[in-house]
């Protein structure tokens, strides 16, 4: 993590990190910070990761949770709090509140 003002690195997170500095996936395509200050990581093969940095917790969402693919390219949030995710198999809308998924293929 870098300080937004001076861009100096303040914290480092990686798959080999210990404790709170460990990431559950190494091949991350995109990171989005949502309206609540949580981070959402689009990964190459590990699905979507919800990272509550302040609480040092991760929650991973994969095909087993309804995603159309575990290969995700980018994640953005709309004004309603839904996440829109580009994947190897269509566009995914993820409702953060209800943890529901809808995939758009065409």
User: What tens digit of pLDDT does each residue of 19-48 get?
Assistant: 565 566 667 889 899 999 999 999 999 999
The tens digit of pLDDT for each residue in 77-92 reads 999 999 999 999 999 9
Helix, strand, coil fractions of the chain, as percent rounded to 5: 5, 45, 45
pTM score of the predicted model? 0.80
**What pLDDT was estimated at residue 24?**
64
How far is residue 53 from each of residues 17, 18, 45, 86, measured CA to CA in Å? 14, 15, 22, 23
Residue 54: pLDDT band with limits 50, 70, 90: confident
Q: Residue 47: its pLDDT value, please?
A: 95
Every domain of the chain and the residues it spans: 25-104
CB of 47 closer than 8 Å to CB of 72: yes
Domain 25-104, CATH among 3.40.1170.10, 3.40.50.300, 2.110.10.10, 2.40.50.140: 2.110.10.10
| pLDDT (mean) for 54-75 | 93
Cα–Cα nearest to 23, from 58, 48, 73, 62: 58
């Amino acid at each position: 993590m870098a300080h937004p003002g001076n861009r100096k690195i303040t914290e480092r997170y990686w798959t080999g990190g210990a404790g709170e500095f460990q990431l559950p996936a190494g091949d991350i395509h995109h990171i989005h910070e949502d309206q609540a200050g949580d981070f959402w990581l689009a990964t190459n093969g590990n699905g979507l990761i919800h990272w509550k940095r302040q609480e040092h917790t991760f929650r991973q969402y994969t095909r087993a949770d309804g995603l159309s693919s575990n290969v995700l390219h980018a994640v953005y949030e709309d004004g309603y709090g839904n996440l829109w995710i580009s994947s190897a198999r269509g566009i995914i809308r993820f409702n953060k509140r209800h943890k529901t998924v809808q995939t758009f293929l065409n």
